[in-house]
Structure 1
Amino acid sequence: MKNPDKPLKILLVEDNHAMSTVIIELLAHTQLSLSVTSTNTGQGALNQLDANRFDCVLLDYELPDYNANEVLKRLQGKRQLSMPIIILTGHSRQN
């Protein structure tokens, strides 16, 4: 069970600086105690996940080096995925 005195550790993976800023500001307006670490590449996410433990990952679908599917495939080869990973995108699908 999570210690209520410790902030939830969030990894934000977003290559758009403006979008990253908006997400961090929105998270700051919650009632949750959060610690947000951010990176702007898939490789940066993999490096952070190798070095640190997070409670949740917010992962942009399209990154400069990998897309979210590629990041997830690389994670599966290394460890069991034990934290929620929420995939974000700013693109809408056109039919």
Structure 2
Amino acid sequence: MAVGASRRDIRWQFLIEALLLALMGGLVGAVSGAAAAVVIAWKAGWPILISPWAIVLACGFAGFIGISFGLYPAHRAARLDPIVALRFE
């Protein structure tokens, strides 16, 4: 248990951080991909068609991956003894 925070608090902090980082990465990737698609379609003379659902799906998938891969570090951090954590900082 961390000093001043419960295991649950630490776990939630790590999971929320993982989710926010993944969502920001997914959003940046979706916007970059859409911009690249617009430029390529414009240069090639093709009609520009970007589905909003594709962007929503990309961000949702990124959030799912962030939560999935954030579970183990959150669990480890919640179980870590504060003295041991401070010793290696």
Using the size of structure 2 for normalisation, the TM-score is 0.28
For the pair shown, the structure with the greater C-alpha radius of gyration is 2
Higher RCO, 1 vs 2 (CA within 8 Å, ≥6 residues apart): 2
- Of Structure 1 and Structure 2, the greater helix share is in 2
Using the size of structure 1 for normalisation, the TM-score is 0.27
- Of Structure 1 and Structure 2, the greater strand share is in 1
